[in-house]
Every structure is written in structure tokens, then in C-alpha cells.
């Protein structure tokens, strides 16, 4: 039981790269601490040394968890004011060309796979009048 309680949280935190995984990890640590504390308090043959170790671990974990929660709060409030209005951008010329021509080529050549169709579209795009690079006047 003592080996479980002696886990170095700093080493485990380094193994958790992303914020969402870190939050899940911290939640798991909290759950395991509750389970360990309950098991220690309910055990009939609880000795004083395990109780002291449990108290020390609980205090160090509280400090560690509080520090991490404050760091997470700082990360979540990035200071951006988002009103929720989403501006729908116009498609770039290539994407609008592909969306127009894809179904036409698919109907004319039903045996072609999608990658083959995109290869054809790329070749057509190089010479297409919709391509802005082809509209340059010298």
C-alpha cells in the first residue's frame, strides 16, 4: 500500500502532454486519493505510520491539485472576446472549381475513384480560366 502512495506526481505529469489528458489525469488522481484514503480509514489494522503518510500525501496532493487547477483556469481564459457570430468565408477559387466540376466528372466517368478525379481536376485547374494565375495580362 505504501508503494502506491509514494508515486511521484511530477514524473506522472510529464507523461501527460495535452491539457484534456492532463485534466483527466488529475481527476483520476483525485479519485484514487479518495479510494486510498477510504481504504486506509476503514482498515482494521491501520497503524500510525500509514496514517501519517496518508496525511502527508493528502496535503501534498491538495497543494499540487490546487496549483494545477489555477494553471488550468489561466489557460482557459485567453482574453479573447468571442461573440459567437461566425463569418462564413467565400470559397477560394480552387475549392469552388473542384466543387463545381467534381460531380460532372463523376457522372461522365463513374468508374473513376475520388483520388483519380482529384488528379484530373488538378490537371484541368492548371489550364482553367477560373484559375487566377491564368488571368494575368502581360
Which tens digits make up the pLDDT trace of 54-84? 666 666 666 666 665 555 555 555 566 667 7
* 8 Å CB contact between 116 and 100: no
For residue 119, pLDDT beyond 90? yes
- Please tell me the predicted confidence (pLDDT) of residue 55: 64
- Please tell me the predicted confidence (pLDDT) of residue 121: 92
Higher per-residue confidence, 99 vs 10: 99
According to DSSP H, which parts of 6-47 are helical? 9-14, 19-42
* 8 Å CB contact between 130 and 97: yes
pLDDT in tens, 80-93: 666 778 888 888 88
- Please tell me the predicted confidence (pLDDT) of residue 28: 81
- What DSSP character marks residue 18? S
* 8 Å CB contact between 135 and 129: yes
Distance CA 70, CA 75 (A): 9
Collapsed DSSP state (helix, strand, coil) of residue 73: helix
- Please tell me the predicted confidence (pLDDT) of residue 16: 47
Amino acid at each position: 500500500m505504501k508503494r502506491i502512495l509514494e508515486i511521484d506526481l511530477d514524473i506522472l505529469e510529464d507523461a501527460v502532454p495535452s491539457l484534456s489528458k492532463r485534466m483527466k489525469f488529475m481527476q483520476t488522481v483525485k479519485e484514487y486519493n479518495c479510494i486510498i484514503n477510504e481504504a486506509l480509514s476503514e482498515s482494521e489494522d491501520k497503524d500510525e505510520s500509514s496514517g501519517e503518510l496518508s496525511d502527508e500525501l493528502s496535503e501534498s496532493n491538495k497543494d499540487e491539485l490546487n496549483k494545477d487547477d489555477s494553471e488550468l483556469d489561466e489557460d482557459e481564459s485567453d482574453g479573447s472576446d468571442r461573440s459567437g457570430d461566425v463569418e462564413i468565408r467565400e470559397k477560394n477559387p480552387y475549392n469552388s472549381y473542384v466543387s463545381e466540376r467534381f460531380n460532372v466528372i463523376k457522372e461522365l466517368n463513374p468508374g473513376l475513384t475520388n483520388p483519380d478525379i482529384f488528379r484530373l481536376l488538378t490537371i484541368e485547374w492548371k489550364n482553367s480560366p477560373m484559375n487566377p494565375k491564368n488571368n494575368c495580362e502581360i
